[in-house]
Amino acid sequence: MLPTPHRRAAAACAAVAAAGALVLAGLPGAASAQSDPAASPSLSPAESAAVAETSPGVLTAMRRDLGLTTAQAEARLVNEAEAGAVAGALRNALGADFAGAWVHGATSARLTVATTDPADVPTIEARGARADVVDHTLSRLDAAKARLDRAAGAAATRDAPVWYVDVRTNAVVVRAVRTAAATSLVAAAGVDPSLVRVERTTERPRPLYDLVGGEAYYMGGRCSIGFPVTKGSQQGFATAGHCGRAGTATSGYNQVAQGTFQASVFPGRDMAWVATNAQWTATPYVKGQGGQRVGVGGSTQSPVGASICRSGSTTGWHCGTISQHNTSVTYPEGTISGVTRTTVCAEPGDSGGSFISGSQAQGVTSGGSGNCSSGGTTFHQPINPLLQQFGLTLRTTGGGGDPGPGDPEPGGTWAAGKVYAAGDTVTYGGSAYRCLQGHQAQPGWEPPNVPALWQQA
């Protein structure tokens, strides 16, 4: 598995050589080529707050797994960050009509925003996005999935192990080994069958915690460090919940005593954190290919369709794309909800490892199916809900002290260290702002400074 860090991106990103189709046509601030961030005084907010100085290891893996050149990989990351900001603004503008957003294209990041009202099309297209008029709002599909989640507690879901909201097809998808199992789950949940599409699958996902190599930690078994964190003055790291329970002692990759699990949730979610002793220091880095360090600049969540990379001790660096957020998956131990489904491969031993898009932490490896020889599907526990659940602060390359989650800034209700979801509202400096993309706030990311993350209400 992999040691994972976190790093904050408050300054300029490694900009890119322009790659024609990779630049989001019409999106305000879409990136053009720059090779020297310091020489560019007008970097877009997404470049500054979301992409920032992407490490070479991420770009190497994207070249290998996504078939991109370095310039294409860098341009794609910038465009995906811009798309996330525009999607957030349009979500706020469309209100109840909003039906989801995603990026697409093998070497580009073209944004599509769905709505149930044809009158919204000009608003969407004015922001440079493609409009898709559909039947069901995202809130209706989310509510249907929530009913499936509740029914899964009493229904047998081993033969219908995965379900999620698929914004690209405007449906709740249930992936089933046996169609009858999916039908039974939908009926038990009382969900309108017209909202659901059943897909046949042979996959039976499982947690990925086998005892396999690389820098890891031990707890009677073996798992990977996720992202280093702090809680006040206490240092530690985030990891997968199935790796240990509260009170479980850990030792490091070198078998030296390391720390103790402070809290763990599994099943239901797959999240945990370990407090380490004074011999261990939480660093703002993930271990990349060949031992190089990959910096983490923050935790801005990437949109569906965006590129994403994973590090694990068994299989190292691999990249793919985000298939769906808000996915539920049934393992032998029970059902996990709220995870993200990706096309990145993983194998036993990769559990707990880092998922990262550009320089932004996305989550910790939970489980999956398949392998890195023939391909597979992997799920990760998103990092922002984990940080919020346990009151943790992501360590980032921006440095500085622990901001003390929840402490309000003098200028309003916005607070460094707090986790914000899209649609949350705050006040700062006498003005109200609405969050565009989920993230953990950091000093320097005050709402007026990062229009990629906040929109004045």
| Cβ atoms 105, 23 nearer than 8 A | no
Give the CB-side neighbour count of residue 270, counting CA atoms within 13 A: 34
Distances, alpha carbon 441 to alpha carbons 352, 354, 416, in Å: 23, 20, 5
How is residue 101 written in tokens?
Answer: 């957003």
CA–CA dist 422, 424 (Å, integer): 6
> Going by C-beta distance under 8 Å and a sequence separation of 6 or more, which residues neighbour residue 218?
250, 251, 252, 255
Residue 242 appears among annotated catalytic residues: yes
Pick from 295, 399, 416, 270: nearest CA to 356: 295
Catalytic residue among 120, 132, 270, 350: 270
Distance of alpha carbon 303 from the chain centroid: 8
SS3 content of the chain, % helix, strand, coil (to 5): 25, 35, 45
> Going by C-beta distance under 8 Å and a sequence separation of 6 or more, which residues neighbour residue 88?
422, 435, 436, 437, 453, 455
Return the biggest CA–CA distance within the chain.
62
Distance of alpha carbon 13 from the chain centroid: 19
CA–CA dist 457, 67 (Å, integer): 41
Any idea what DSSP says for residue 297?
-
Q: Examine residue 267 and say whether the peptide bond preceding it is cis (omega within 30 degrees of 0).
A: yes
Give the CB-side neighbour count of residue 359, counting CA atoms within 13 A: 32
Catalytic residue among 224, 351, 359, 369: 351
Cβ atoms < 10 Å from Cβ of 370: 16
| Angle between helices 70-94 and 56-66 in degrees, nearest 10 | 90
CA–CA dist 123, 134 (Å, integer): 16
Catalytic residue among 55, 136, 166, 242: 242
The DSSP code sequence of 300-323 is: PPPPBT-EEEEEETTTEEEEEEEE
Burial of 313 (0-12, 13-18, 19+ CB in 10 A): buried
CA–CA dist 310, 312 (Å, integer): 7
How is residue 345 written in tokens?
Answer: 């491969």
Q: Which residues are catalytic?
A: 242, 270, 351
